[in-house]
Structure formats: C-alpha cells, structure tokens
Amino acid sequence: MDENSPCNPITTYGVTKLEAETVCQLHANRIPIVILRPPAVYGPRDYAGFGLFESASKGFIPGFGSKGKRVSLIYGPELARAIVEATVSERTTGETYFVADPQIYSFFEIMTKVAGMLGKRARTLVLPKWLLYGLAGISEAVSIFRSDPPVLNIEKVRDLIQTDWVCSPRKLEEHIGFRTQISIEDGLTRTLEWYKEFGWI
C-alpha cells in the first residue's frame, strides 16, 4: 500500500485509527498536522513483539494462516527519529505518510533469523484458520470472567491471518529524505540483547 491506496480497515482498532486521522485532517487548516502510519514496530521494551522472541527461544516458529506472509517493519528508535524529522519539517504539514523500512520481509525469514540468534533450530508450527478462530472464541468466552482483556480475540485473528501487511515509505523519503539506517539484523540483535539484559529471555 501507499498513501493513495484506499483505506479498508478490518478491525475496530483500524477503524478508530482512520477516524483519528479524519479528525486531525478536519483541523489541518488551523494547526500544522502531519500523520504518520507505522507498520509493526519492534525493539527494546516492546512487549507486543516479545512473544515471537519467546517462541523462537523455545524452538518453534508460530505461523498464522499463510507460510508466505510478508510484513513491513520499523525499529522503534528509527520510528522515533522519523516522528521528530517529520514534525519539524515544514514540507510535511498536512501530509500523511507511511514510515517503514523499505525492505519487505517474509515473516518466516525474520523468525528464522531470531531463532538463529538464539542458537535454536526452530520448527515451524502453522496454525490453521479454523483453529485460530476456535481458540479466539474460547479466549473471549473465558475473558468474561476475568478483569483483563483476552490475549487472542476474533479481530486479532482476522488481523493475523492476512497474507501481507506491507506498505511503501517512498513518499516520506521523497519529501524529507528520511530512510531507515539500522538493518533488520542489527535491530533484532539490539532487541534480543535488551530482552536478555532485563531477564525477559
């Protein structure tokens, strides 16, 4: 996708993000606004992505829906730099941008790298859609009796089973010259080192 692609959110989360963009745009004639759309963010302190590192440390790679899944990523500190550079630039006022590593990655390629860093020869465990939806239903039912939200729900499964989650950061590079500087290998290594240092792994 790029910034001209139609927006078709498939979850409540996606709908609310699009609504937030619309609200911002309504005020763009009175205050300088720039909208940034990051893909999956990873890096030190990230709990959402930690589960993938944890799975690799136990010797398996979880698969959701399709083994050919491709994703766009952004390393957390790189996203922070993009936010600063886009915010201070007058060129970006009123614009919307995807901000990501220009390289598109295979989900399994990334997980294989992580497993290798951990000295593991991870086995791939592809979970079929029907099983994921079944687990999500059970998780939602159990959550009725708990105070915390379910780890897995129907909308999360809908998100996970998409074949691709990829976007183009070309517009941001063309407008302000922003381009990621940290390779996926360095980003994953720094993330893993942080998890180890603080006892997460």
pLDDT tens digits in sequence order for the chain, 201 residues long = 999 999 999 999 999 999 999 999 999 889 999 999 999 999 999 988 888 888 888 888 877 766 678 999 999 999 999 999 999 999 999 999 999 999 999 888 888 889 889 888 878 877 788 888 898 889 888 888 887 778 788 888 888 888 889 999 999 999 999 999 999 999 999 999 999 999 998
Residues 6+ apart with CB under 8 A from 73: 39, 40, 41, 42, 100, 101, 105, 110, 184, 187
pTM of the full structure: 0.86
Sheet arrangement for strand 164-165: 105-106, 70-71, 164-165
Helix/strand/coil percent split, the chain, to 5 = 45, 15, 40
Q: Where are the domains of the chain?
A: 12-127+163-197
- Phi and psi at residue 74, to the nearest 5°: -145, 130
Cβ atoms of residues 129 and 65 within 8 Å? yes
Q: What CATH number labels 12-127+163-197?
A: 3.40.50.720
